Structure 1
Amino acid sequence: MNKLPVYYLSVYYLKIYLCKMNTRKTVLILGANSDVAKQAIKLYINKGYYVIAASRNLKSLENFADENHLNKSKFEIKYFDATDFSSHQYFYDELSIKPNIVVYAAGFLIENQEALKNFDGTFEMMKTNYIGAVSILNIIASDISNKNLERIIGLSSLSGVRGRKSNFVYGSTKSAFTQYLAGLRQELNSRKVIVNVLVIGYINTKINAGLELNKNLIMEPDYVAKFIINAGTSFEIIPNWKWKIIYWILKLSPEFLVAKLP
């Protein structure tokens, strides 16, 4: 049997596949093992995006994909460590496809009293929530050869709106991240790349497990993920009208009132 036609047929279908991959929009989710990020993965796939899910915990992502019967032709899992800054350039260079959309969802939290006494924990929050984000997003934003880049979304927190005695260490990392994204938005404006920040309140996630939170204010991960998928052109996105009210109270209150808050 002549194998030559089979060879050319294989090349033909490979070209079709690569062509489809190049025309399909790609989302890179950094810190994809977070509960919100996992919900975003499902929503992006349902909307026809190709998703690159990047995290340190590959096994958890593989289990998540199996449990939710995700089509493995529509996403891939990559190892990414937000705190290993020296690996970030290599990670980006090795991506199979450069992204249209980037979501930074990595996060780490310890309680404030522990953070005051344990600098290792504080430094871990700094590295995960801010320094690692700046490291990888600088690399992505500086790649002017990626003409497809159209949006960068960062997940921040209302804890970063004002310094409060109950969470100012964690809040400072989120405040710094928000300010970085604000400047990055200005930097990328000439390239028509949109930068958004989700300023998020309490979510029913593993990062908040064990904390005493107001149940009337807790949001579910899938609810927050919808705001990621449907991000528009506004810089700050605040899921839930209750949290919008809290945001403006924090933003506009004089310091003597903020000082009385927990």
Structure 2
Amino acid sequence: MNQKTAKNVLILGANSDVAKQCILQYVEKGFAIIAASRSTDSLKDFVADNNLSDKVSVLYFDAADFDSHQKFYDELLVKPHMVVYAAGFLVENVDALKDFKGTQQMMQVNYMGGVSILNIVAMDLSNKNLERIIGLSSLSGVCGRKSNFVYGSTKAAFTTYLAGLRQELAQRNITVNVLVSGYINTKINAGLELNKNLLMEPDYVARHIVDAGNSFTIVPNFKWKMIYIILKMLPEGLVAKLP
């Protein structure tokens, strides 16, 4: 596939389990992929194992190294038609409260890194290809809960940013979506005690990203849609009783 003629998808944080499934599914649809991550060795192995070397380019990208973002974008050989920001970092709430370094890293990766690079992407008026930006958020950001409010606050901030970016880019006919997901069976959640009946598989979540439509908020799975609606409506007194 000629990456200069096919539509290109730039996936940032492409080493996540969901992002890797997005790579496979975008390729099935005929897209060329620019997969960017700090973990380039792991990504290259994934590309080789799936015989995708002619369809996927692997680049180094550090979401928390803000000063490198402009150079990273400027050096892209082809500017993207779509961008997926999938970078994420999680520290359990009790640890985040005790050690600010974990909190800071969540802020940098989950929110600040996304704002930094997506501002650059969005403000490149010379890129007439850009059609869509999708950011991965979480139901943890819908309301503040005592079990995960530090992580949740970074996701809430990112969702709010994407909502405003959607309004900013609408006049240029560029769609912005946010994927608000519940529990996913991924390495970032490994070791956490999660309700297995609510766990979604990465390929299922990826399908909702790849097939994103015009609605701003994408919530995969009917059960999680109900939970999302309930969380949005709950008064503070009831939220405080949640784990």
TM-score tier, shorter chain, comes to over 0.9
Tell me the distance in 2 between the aligned counterparts of 1:83 and 1:258. Answer: 32
What whole-Å deviation, never above 9, does each CA across 1:134-172 have from its counterpart, x for those lacking one?
A: 000000000000000000000000000000000000000
Where do 1:124-135 residues align within 5 Å?
Answer: 124-135=105-116
Displacement of 1:194: 0.0
Following TM superposition, by how much is the alpha carbon of 1:21 offset from its aligned partner in structure 2, in angstroms? 3.7
Identity level (%): 70
Return the alpha-carbon distance in structure 2 between the equivalents of residues 23 and 58 of structure 1.
25
Residue 241 of structure 1, aligned match among 222, 234, 237: 222
Question: Which consecutive aligned stretches of 4+ in structure 1 deviate over 4 angstroms post-superposition?
Answer: none
Query: Could you tell me which of 47, 58, 67 is aligned with 1:65?
Result: 47
Higher helix share: 1
Q: How does 1:195-234 map to 2 (within 5 A)?
A: 195-234=176-215
| CA distances 1:51-103 after superposition (whole Å, capped 9, x unpaired) | 00000000100111122222x11110000000000000000000010000000
Deviations 1:196-238 (A, max 9, x none): 0000000000000000000000000000000010000000000
TM-score of the superposed pair, with normalisation by structure 1: 0.92
Determine which of 13, 16, 23 is the counterpart of 1:41: 23
Aligned-pair Cα RMSD in Å: 0.9
3-state SS, counterpart of residue 251 of structure 1: helix
How high is the TM-score relative to the length of structure 2? 0.99
Q: How many residues align?
A: 243
> Which amino acid in the other structure matches residue 129 of structure 1?
N
Partner in structure 1 of residue 5 of structure 2:
23
In structure 2, C-alpha distance between the alignment counterparts of 1:124 and 1:255, rounded to whole Å? 28
Amino acid at match of 1:42: L
- How far did residue 191 of structure 1 move? 0.3
2:33 to 30, 35, 51: 51
Amino acid at match of 1:132: G
In our comparison, the structure showing a higher alpha carbon Rg is 1
Say whether 1:80 aligns with 2:68: no
Distance 1:21 1:55 in 2: 19
Q: Is the 8 A contact 2:3 2:55 kept in 1?
A: no
Unaligned runs of 5+ residues in structure 2 are: none
Equivalent runs, 1:40-189 vs 2, <5 Å: 40-70=22-52, 72-189=53-170
